[in-house]
């Protein structure tokens, strides 16, 4: 029994070497190495490091390698996989501002509502904390409709006026005003850290200036419970953030649980430059232009990309009517209004990176790169067809080895090709395996068996040649055991075939 247990542990450590290589490739952005490892075993995408339980998806997202993120997702990894802190790859991409990774994860429908275990913060909180406005608009793409009157509807709602609109702004308000532990919203975080562009975007999307923190579970106890975003802006010391909040109706005389007004908070933190701003409300209404990060066409192009794909790479030599922006891919979408045609990839890039005011269209529209017409939404062309769903790569994958010295007959062992019911990082239980009868696998290829077996040698060859191949494989195994400890526990199916072929 002890030998079986030690053999299983040894085999799991041996197979984890490939997982560590994939982690290194994901962290360093080595796309070719990642492809080679995932082609060998797609289930390596589910590997997670010991302790912090960061997966290759977490590392590639944190470093901004969006191509590896896409590769890992297509290999079958859970896109919402958590580490020991409860953070997903989307949270880490938002924390470091990698908008291309955020775009990729949103296209694959990553869950933006997941909160971490430590302070209840979502990806939106982390993006606001560090002022990544481009990530915020991608996170909220499914909640901002491609309608020209979107801003006017939100403006009427803030003024408590009745409006007839084609969308329900309730879900957007719930997402953007969701509190973390202590009642801290994304607007609190952006105001505290002095990110005026992020504050402006959140206010344009309906963030509340009256939400206050609570004492229970507060994780940022700098000012006290009952503090509004203006209290946090006064603590941060950014004058423009304070002016934006005041222009949107923030009260100068609101007191928190300590009895402090925003002015008193500024004085306690020696923010002398805010004295005049927080002392009295300006005589004239501060006129604030709409945020340049507001992007109305984003929902329409993301819906088309999810339905019809966005990775087409048709060469201009084979494409009759290529996209005028990249001259490589065929046109798949058209801008409503001017009807200029683009490929989905370029339209996505345009919506994700555009940052300017468009006087030719409503607030939130983006300028057409050809005629400067304000684009509010995209429509797919009649020739654009939905993509065909591919079979997941995890249907035929290699499992971790589970052989032992005193196990069953070596000649009767077959390689089980498994499709797991859950991620390998969480449990080794509940694996439903079906046997693949055409491949014979030797347990001697893994650490835990002292000798090799002729089960990989074809049975329909000459007997003398068969004995020679077995002898060569045994000699190569004995040579490998004299190497370093690192090579002793590195076992792989490909390595054993190469050893046999070189004899």
Tens-place pLDDT, residues 100-154: 999 999 999 999 999 999 889 999 999 999 999 999 999 999 999 988 888 877 7
pLDDT of 20 > 60? The answer is: yes
Q: What is the pLDDT of residue 319?
A: 62
The residue written with tokens 């005389």 in the block is 253
pLDDT band at 199 (very low <50, low <70, confident <90, very high): very high
pLDDT band at 301 (very low <50, low <70, confident <90, very high): very high
The residue written with tokens 């960061």 in the block is 54
pTM above 0.75, yes or no: no
pLDDT band at 473 (very low <50, low <70, confident <90, very high): very low
Q: What is the pLDDT of residue 497?
A: 32
Mean pLDDT of the 12-38 span? 82
Mean pLDDT of the 230-244 span? 94
Of residues 85 and 478, more confidently modeled: 85
Q: Which of 74, 76, 82, 72 is nearest to 33 (CA)?
A: 72
Mean pLDDT of the 386-410 span? 45
Quote the CA–CA distance of 349 and 486 in Å, as a whole number.
44
CA 133 to chain centre: 16
- Quick one: what percent of the chain has pLDDT higher than 90? 45
- Quick one: what percent of the chain has pLDDT higher than 70? 67
Q: What is the pLDDT of residue 7?
A: 39
Q: Which of 59, 67, 62 is nearest to 35 (CA)?
A: 67
pLDDT of 452 > 80? The answer is: no
pLDDT of 43 > 70? The answer is: yes
State the chain's mean pLDDT as an integer: 75
In 259-364, beta strands by DSSP E: 333-335, 341-342
Of residues 431 and 12, more confidently modeled: 12
Quote the CA–CA distance of 132 and 95 in Å, as a whole number.
8
User: Where does residue 435 fall: left (phi above 0), alpha (psi -120 to 50 degrees), or beta otherwise?
Assistant: beta
Of residues 375 and 427, more confidently modeled: 375
Are the C-beta atoms of residues 200 and 292 closer than 8 Å to each other? no
User: Where does residue 423 fall: left (phi above 0), alpha (psi -120 to 50 degrees), or beta otherwise?
Assistant: beta
Tell the burial category of 185 from Cβ atoms under 10 Å away from its Cβ (0-12, 13-18, 19+).
buried
Tell me phi and psi for residue 341, to 5 degrees.
-105, 145
pLDDT of 237 > 90? The answer is: yes
SS3 label, residue 431:
strand
Of residues 25 and 460, more confidently modeled: 25
| Geometric angle at alpha carbon 493, from 468 and 466, rounded to 5° | 15
Quote the CA–CA distance of 246 and 230 in Å, as a whole number.
8
Of residues 224 and 87, more confidently modeled: 87
Tell me phi and psi for residue 366, to 5 degrees.
-115, 150
pLDDT band at 250 (very low <50, low <70, confident <90, very high): very high
Quote the CA–CA distance of 260 and 153 in Å, as a whole number.
34
Q: What is the pLDDT of residue 189?
A: 94
Q: What is the pLDDT of residue 463?
A: 55
Mean pLDDT of the 223-235 span? 92
Q: Which of 174, 195, 66 is nearest to 122 (CA)?
A: 174
Q: What is the pLDDT of residue 45?
A: 80
Quote the CA–CA distance of 151 and 165 in Å, as a whole number.
11
Mean pLDDT of the 365-377 span? 90
Mean pLDDT of the 174-192 span? 94
CA 171 to chain centre: 22
Q: How many CB atoms lie within 10 A of CB 403?
A: 23
pLDDT of 449 > 50? The answer is: no
Quote the CA–CA distance of 207 and 188 in Å, as a whole number.
10
Q: Which of 378, 208, 411, 241 is nearest to 299 (CA)?
A: 378
Quote the CA–CA distance of 284 and 289 in Å, as a whole number.
15
């Amino acid at each position: 029994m002890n030998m079986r247990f030690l053999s299983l542990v040894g085999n799991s450590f041996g197979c984890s070497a490939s997982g560590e290589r994939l982690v290194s490739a994901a962290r360093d952005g080595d796309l070719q190495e990642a492809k080679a490892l995932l082609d060998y075993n797609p289930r390596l995408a589910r590997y997670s490091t010991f302790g912090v339980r960061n997966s290759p998806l977490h590392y590639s997202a944190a470093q901004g390698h969006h191509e590896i993120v896409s590769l890992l997702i297509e290999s079958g990894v859970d896109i919402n996989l958590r580490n020991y802190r409860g953070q997903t790859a989307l949270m880490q991409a938002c924390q470091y501002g990698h908008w291309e990774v955020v775009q990729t994860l949103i296209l694959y429908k990553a869950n933006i509502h997941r909160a971490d275990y430590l302070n209840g913060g979502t990806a939106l909180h982390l993006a606001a904390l560090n002022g990544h406005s481009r990530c915020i608009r991608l996170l909220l793409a499914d909640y901002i409709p491609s309608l020209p009157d979107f801003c006017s509807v939100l403006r009427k709602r803030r003024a408590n006026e009745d409006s007839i609109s084609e969308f329900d702004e309730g879900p957007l308000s719930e997402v953007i005003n969701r509190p973390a532990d202590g009642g801290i919203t994304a607007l609190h975080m952006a105001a505290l850290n002095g990110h005026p562009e992020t504050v402006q975007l959140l206010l344009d999307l309906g963030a509340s200036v009256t939400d206050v923190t609570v004492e229970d579970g507060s994780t940022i106890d700098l000012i006290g419970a009952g503090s509004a975003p203006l209290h946090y802006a006064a603590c941060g010391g950014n004058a423009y953030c304070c002016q934006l909040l005041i222009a949107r109706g923030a009260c100068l005389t609101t007191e928190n649980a300590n009895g402090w007004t925003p002015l008193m908070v500024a004085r306690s933190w020696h923010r002398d430059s805010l004295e005049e701003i927080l002392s009295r409300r300006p005589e004239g209404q501060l006129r604030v232009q709409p945020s340049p990060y507001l992007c109305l066409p984003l929902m329409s192009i993301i819906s088309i990309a999810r339905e019809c794909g966005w990775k087409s790479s048709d060469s201009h030599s084979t494409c009759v009517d290529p996209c005028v922006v990249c001259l490589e891919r065929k046109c798949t979408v058209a801008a409503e209004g001017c009807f200029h045609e683009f490929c989905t990839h370029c339209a996505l890039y345009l919506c994700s990176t555009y940052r300017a005011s468009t006087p030719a269209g409503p607030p939130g529209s983006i300028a057409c790169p050809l005629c400067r017409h304000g684009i509010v939404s995209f429509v797919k062309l009649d020739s654009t067809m939905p993509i065909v769903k591919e079979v997941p790569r995890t249907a035929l994958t290699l499992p971790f080895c589970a052989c032992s010295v005193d196990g069953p007959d070596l000649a009767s062992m077959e390689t089980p090709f498994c499709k797991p019911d859950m991620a390998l990082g969480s449990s080794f239980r509940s694996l439903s395996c079906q046997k693949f009868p055409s491949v014979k696998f030797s347990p001697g290829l893994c650490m835990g068996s002292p000798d090799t077996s002729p089960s990989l040698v074809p049975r329909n060859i000459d007997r003398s040649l068969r004995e020679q191949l077995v002898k060569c494989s045994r000699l190569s195994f004995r040579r490998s055991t004299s190497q370093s400890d690192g090579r002793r526990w590195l076992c792989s199916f490909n390595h054993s075939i190469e050893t046999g072929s070189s004899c």
